[in-house]
Amino acid sequence: MPATTLARRAFLGGAVAALAAARAFAQSPAPAGPVDPKLLDDLVAANRILADQGVVDGYGHVSVRHPADPQRYLMSRSIAPELVTAADVMEYDLDSTAVEPRGRASYLERFIHGEIYRARPDVRAVVHNHSPSVIPFGVSQVPLKPLYHMSAFLGGGVPVFDIKAAAGQPTDMLVRTPALGRALAQTLGERPVALMRGHGAVVVGDSLPRVVFRSVYTEVNARLQAQAMALGGPVTYLDEEEARRADASVGGTIPRPWELWKKKALAK
Q: Is the dihedral of CA 214, 215, 216, 217 positive or negative?
A: positive
Contacts of 245 (CB under 8 A, 6+ apart): 152
Give the whole-angstrom CA distance, residue 55 versus residue 149: 19
> Is the distance from CB of 125 to CB of 64 less than 8 angstroms?
yes
Give the residue numbers marked as catalytic.
Answer: 109
Give the whole-angstrom CA distance, residue 214 versus residue 203: 7
